[in-house]
Structure 1
Amino acid sequence: MKIHQNAKKRPGFPLRASLPVIGIVLLALAAIFVLRDGGSPTIKLSPQTGAASYTTEFSLDLSAGKSGLKECSVVAAQDGKRVELLRESFSDKRPAHAAAFRLPREAGFKEGSVELSVIVRSNAMLSFLGRGKASLVQQITLDFTPPRLSVTPGVHNVNQGGGAAVSYTVSKPVESTGVMVGSHLFPGYQQPDGRYLCYFAMPHDMQPSQFKPKVIARDKAGNEATQNVSVLAIPKPFKADKLNIPDEFLNSKMPQYTALYPSETSPLEIYKRVNTELRDKNVTELLKIGKDTSPTPLWSGPFLRLPNAASRAGFGDQRDYFYQGEKIDHQTHMGVDLASVANAPVPAANSGRVVLAEFFGIYGNCVIIDHGLGLQSLYSHLDEMSVTKGTQVKKGDIIGKTGTTGLAGGDHLHFGMIIGGLQVNPVEWWDDHWIKDNILEHTGK
């Protein structure tokens, strides 16, 4: 019988068998390097307006992930001139960095186009693959010429807590403009004829000696022009009032607000927070709502007053609140309370667009109508609302019925007027003579 010998192993077989394993290991190592390096650095440069001046502050936000930042530079170039604006190195390999820079006046750049170049390098191990570098090139237009303002002449008689209006022209397109009173900007709105119209006010809590309104205009490059408005500031005394808060009121009204303050179990403690915290929140929200406005006037003639209604509380009343003989709060009443019959129909005081129709904090069921240029009217404590946000209304249209929602102690309408989100004295806007002398004479609108 013939015996077969074992076949010899073919040379190289183990190497070929291990090749897939080696490939997997190499891929794994590559993946580790990639993950460790992260992506390429990222660059965010602002502002993005495309216009700049020597006052423009540019902000640079850099990120390099796990590999960390190594260095960055910013260079401005114009007509062959190159000026380095920023250069930083990072020995700590930080993952992110924020920097700011401006164009130096001594660089002597001219008005016109300038190229900004940003280069960022990271500590990426795979930098030879281009992963460790990022660049950004942005064209900007240098503009060193401020706008020119021309304000319609005339002296404005402005009551403390009252409104006013001004018209003016600006020589070039602007990023923002209006009348600055203290730290509050009342926006100006450009009209079809090119003029800007602006309604502004003297806050009720500003002393007339401090009321120094000025028109401002700021272009996209940050150049700014200002011009004072000639005013005669008229002080107004405000009534002092004391309000006693009975338990009956607290027990009937505070259930509306229990869900807002679940940690409070006492109606009195809920009331204290509503009358302060929620009131302040509503004031802030009115500033936001004031921006939802038409750039042209929607109203004409004097504003309507609730028919056959007696005035109760007035604008600017200084209220001290007492509970069981102890003073618990102080607030200012920012509208006029008008009392008629229960559930009296409430007319829109003038034509406009409804910008709010909902339960609104201390005001309860509330409707706010925009009349253009930041001028708005407010109707609160309503029992019913017959309009919704976005509804176009005409002067005299019924928008709801009076009621007792919110912090109302009895059936009435709390009526308010608002300019640029700031509440002003409504009485002025019921007066046709005041409107002609203080609004139309200065704006022609």
Structure 2
Amino acid sequence: MRNLVIAVFVACLGAVLYLVLNFFVFERQKPIFQSLSSLPTHWNLKDDLSLRFSDESGIRSYSVEVLLDSQILFSQGEVVLNKPKNFTLSLPKPLTELKDGTTLVYKVCVSDWSNTNFFAGNTTCVDVSLIIDTSAPQIEILARSPKISRSGSAFVLFKVKDLALDSVTLSNGKNEFRAFRHHFDGIVLAPDEAVYGAFVAWPLENVLFEGRIKAVDKAANSAQIALNFPKNLTAPIRKSNIRLKPEFLESKLRSLLEQISNVSYEGFADDKERFLFINEQARSRDSKQILEATTTTISNKSYIPYGISPFSALKNAVVVGYFGDERSYYLDKNLVSVVYHMGLDLASVRNAPIFASNGGVVILRQYLGLHGNTAVIYHGFGLSSLYAHMSDSTLKVGDEIESGDIIGYTGSSGWAFGDHLHLEILVQGHAVSVQEWSNPKWVQESINAVFEQARARLLEQNMLRGQAK
């Protein structure tokens, strides 16, 4: 019995020693390296780049070798005496000047304070490849619209030169706009050059416009230039007073609220509450869905590669509501709501066919609370057109359309006082003056001429480049 007790004691002691040695003294967990995904592929040599490691037994030492063309350019290492459990290593910058495009490979090894591996500890090694890029992008405006007006828009085509471009954006001083890569047939560019284009908006709610273009490369080098459009500060705003008749509200609101899920006619105290819900909350809901469609589903593909036609969706149409109208709604002589009309209302015969003026792809097609049966078509360079209050449409999201195709038919769906088409033009979610886009003279001078001038400028540069060789 005594021998059995001794044997059990020895076994237990051995187990405890084994656990202690393995989990505390001879711990075998290698230092954990935080993912490489946070590191750039290019380095401007101005910003510090760091690698992060962690280990429960503490970091003992590190070593760094910097290789150029498989040859060691320099190396360094150090013992870390304070045994940190979290350790950040800044990559050493090369002491010699290197050309842009040079690739450096950093071989980094970090060891911990474990006594495993004959007291050498556990070691983690990683290789990091970085391309040296110290030059900022170069931006050159090729052509732009001659001016921009408040509530309107403008177009610009420009060239960016850089080894590894990451992002190109435009700004009006308040809102940011994505730029889109563009290719002209027959134009040859250098490998580090690319042409970009974008429409930029000056929304009605913005008092000022301060345009600029900004380019950032993969090494975080950046450059920006001013987009100096001559500016027209005035915005034509017409004011109108609309009297809401009780009989109209009863018939329209009841049918309209039935179209909106989770909302009932009887759930409101009176017609004023029902009207405010439609005119303000439903309008806000519509705006969010339209904004999402016109900012997240747009792509680099352009359906207007050489120019655009004026938007003229209805034949023999009469304008019954202008963009920028300030509409004041009255109920029983009391002002209940004021909103701005962000489109152009066109009326023709009942159920008139709506024609596409330009090619594009359908990015939204559904019934919206205020807009009724609605379709949004994306044309390119951030430009979209919206068609609302339709009685019918066979379009679906993803359909590609051509100029002359039928989009749908006019109607009075949604918050409409009669059969008509509500047409909006949107630049990356911002509604802009439809009067401009339906004006042939403005379209030619502000859009189509920009394509022509940019192409001519690139052909001239190609010719000069060829003469220089």
TM, length-normalised to structure 2: 0.72
Change (3 A) 1:293 1:410: farther
1:170-185 aligned at under 5 Å gives the runs 170-172=160-162, 174-182=165-173, 183-185=175-177
- In the other structure, the counterpart of 2:214 is 216
Q: Distance in 1 between matches of 2:434 and 2:418?
A: 21
- In the other structure, the counterpart of 1:169 is 159
Aligned 8 A contact 1:382 1:400 in 2: yes
Residue 136 of structure 1 is aligned with which of 126, 129, 132?
A: 126
Change (3 A) 1:172 1:325: same
1:50 positional shift: 0.9
Q: Distance in 2 between matches of 1:172 and 1:179?
A: 17
Q: Which moved more, 1:435-444 or 1:46-55?
A: 46-55
SS of residue matched to 2:370: helix
1:145 positional shift: 0.8
Residue 414 of structure 2 is aligned with which of 406, 409, 412?
A: 406
Question: Does residue 1:432 correspond to 2:440, yes or no?
Answer: yes
Change (3 A) 1:401 1:72: farther
Question: Does residue 1:187 correspond to 2:187, yes or no?
Answer: no
Q: Which amino acid aligns with 2:137?
A: P
Deviations 1:386-428 (A, max 9, x none): 1112222121211212223333343321111122332211222
- In the other structure, the counterpart of 1:6 is none
Aligned 8 A contact 1:313 1:337 in 2: yes
1:133 positional shift: 5.5
- In the other structure, the counterpart of 2:380 is 372
TM, length-normalised to structure 1: 0.75
1:336 positional shift: 0.6
Deviations 1:32-80 (A, max 9, x none): 969x99896251234455112246575867677xx59768979684663
Question: Does residue 1:250 correspond to 2:253, yes or no?
Answer: yes
SS of residue matched to 2:147: strand
Aligned 8 A contact 1:306 1:338 in 2: yes
- In the other structure, the counterpart of 2:136 is 146
1:12-23 aligned at under 5 Å gives the runs none
Question: Does residue 1:203 correspond to 2:206, yes or no?
Answer: no
SS of residue matched to 1:259: coil
- Unpaired runs of at least 5, structure 1: 1-8
Aligned 8 A contact 1:339 1:412 in 2: yes
- In the other structure, the counterpart of 2:465 is none
Residue 344 of structure 1 is aligned with which of 343, 346, 352?
A: 352
Deviations 1:138-172 (A, max 9, x none): 11112111122221267722122222222222223
Q: Distance in 1 between matches of 2:75 and 2:294?
A: 46
Q: Distance in 2 between matches of 1:166 and 1:336?
A: 25
Q: Which moved more, 1:410-419 or 1:68-77?
A: 68-77
1:25-64 aligned at under 5 Å gives the runs 41-54=32-45
Change (3 A) 1:311 1:237: same
Q: Distance in 1 between matches of 2:426 and 2:260?
A: 25
SS of residue matched to 1:231: coil
- In the other structure, the counterpart of 2:227 is 229
1:365 positional shift: 2.1
Q: Distance in 2 between matches of 1:260 and 1:128?
A: 73
- In the other structure, the counterpart of 1:294 is 301
Q: Which moved more, 1:40-49 or 1:75-84?
A: 75-84
**Count of aligned pairs:** 419
Aligned 8 A contact 2:259 2:369 in 1: no
Aligned 8 A contact 2:181 2:300 in 1: no
Change (3 A) 1:347 1:116: same
Q: Distance in 1 between matches of 2:392 and 2:41?
A: 50
- Unpaired runs of at least 5, structure 2: 190-194, 456-469
Q: Distance in 1 between matches of 2:419 and 2:140?
A: 49
Aligned 8 A contact 2:29 2:122 in 1: no
Deviations 1:117-156 (A, max 9, x none): 6666789898989996544321111211112222126772
Aligned 8 A contact 2:199 2:427 in 1: yes
Q: Distance in 1 between matches of 2:119 and 2:436?
A: 72
Aligned 8 A contact 2:113 2:121 in 1: no
Q: Distance in 2 between matches of 1:124 and 1:406?
A: 71
Change (3 A) 1:72 1:436: farther
Deviations 1:76-115 (A, max 9, x none): 846634589xx99796x68xx9x897987x9776443334
Q: Which moved more, 1:382-391 or 1:323-332?
A: 323-332
1:233 positional shift: 0.9
